[in-house]
Amino acid sequence: MDKKTPLVEMKNIHLSFGGIKAVDDVSVDLYPGEVVGLLGHNGAGKSTLIKVLSGAYQADSGEIYVDGEQATINNPRDARAYNIETIYQTLALADNLDAASNLFLGREIVNQFGLVDDDAMEAETRRIMGRLNPNFDNFSSPVAALSGGQRQSVAITRAVYFNARILIMDEPTAALGPQETEMVAELINQLKADGIGIFLISHDIHDVMDLCDRISVMKNGKLVGTENVTDVTDDEILSMIILGKKPGQAA
């Protein structure tokens, strides 16, 4: 895996908000078919870092490479053009619209007159949902009326439908029951097999140990370190998160 070009490389990213260094000289990378876990406390800067990649924030300095080529990502549209898709912790759904409208938001299917084709979008949504979450059956209600798991399905489907190559998942299982969490885990493994690279932001150390290949730990805006999951123990990861201490360092 190490010999290939990374799918994404974020190099020396800096981003401050009014004097507070939210992200301070952080570099991470991601290879095809790999899941990299981003860990850290609330406010460690992991969500901010990832929003730089998804185009929601612009870095003060630093470079992003996609497939080894330098990429310019100034807004979410740019990120989508690089096949970078994001599932936000808040899901970022328009609650007043139905599943199909949310799935295609910003990328509507239009007919030959440039008018949105709701029927075609609903048909596509039914088709893809039939594969990803066969229990999903509510295509006409606003997503506000759906359960947490169903809403999550809509957000996940939106990310994978448009041929994502780089997927960012921000706490994808935080609001889910055990059964739905299992479904997300299955999906991640399936996407991995398809060669998609995934950044997984999570609090749950078990999620991370089960699903991730590598972990990058952040604390106070800085990168503590990046390790292969097989090389470290739970305790070592915890001490990276809590103490900001790399494994092998003297206490």
Residues that bind other proteins (CB under 8 A): 54, 56, 75-77, 80, 86, 88, 90-97, 101, 105-108, 110, 114-116, 119-120, 122-123, 142, 144-145
**Long-range Cβ contacts of 236-243 (<8 Å, 24+ apart):** 237/39, 237/205, 237/208, 237/209, 238/205, 240/39, 241/39, 241/40, 241/41, 241/217, 242/41
How is residue 114 annotated by DSSP? Answer: S
Nearer to other proteins, 93 or 183 (CB): 93
> What torsion, rounded to 10 degrees, do the Cα atoms 79, 229, 22, 48 define?
30
**How far apart are CB 97 and other proteins at their closest, in Å?**
6
Q: Is 80 or 219 the residue whose CB approaches other proteins more closely?
A: 80
CA dihedral (81, 87, 92, 95) in degrees, to 10, reads 110
Residue 86 beta carbon to other proteins: minimum distance, rounded to whole angstroms: 7
User: 155 or 215, CB closer to other proteins?
Assistant: 155
Q: How far is the CB of 164 from other proteins (least distance, A)?
A: 14
In the DSSP assignment, the letter for residue 150 is: H
CA distance 128 to 234: 37
* Cβ–Cβ under 8 Å, residues 65 and 16: no
The minimum distance between CB 131 and other proteins, in angstroms, equals 16
CA distances from 239 to 45, 145, 197, 215, 234 (A): 17, 41, 26, 13, 9
> Which of residues 94 and 242 has its CB atom nearest to other proteins in the complex?
94
Nearest residue (CB) to other proteins, 33 versus 76: 76
Toward other proteins, which CB reaches closer, 90 or 228? 90
Minimum Å distance from CB 134 to other proteins? 17
Q: Which residues have a Cβ under 8 Å from the Cβ of 183 and sit 6 or more positions away?
A: 133
CB of 76 to other proteins, least distance (A): 5
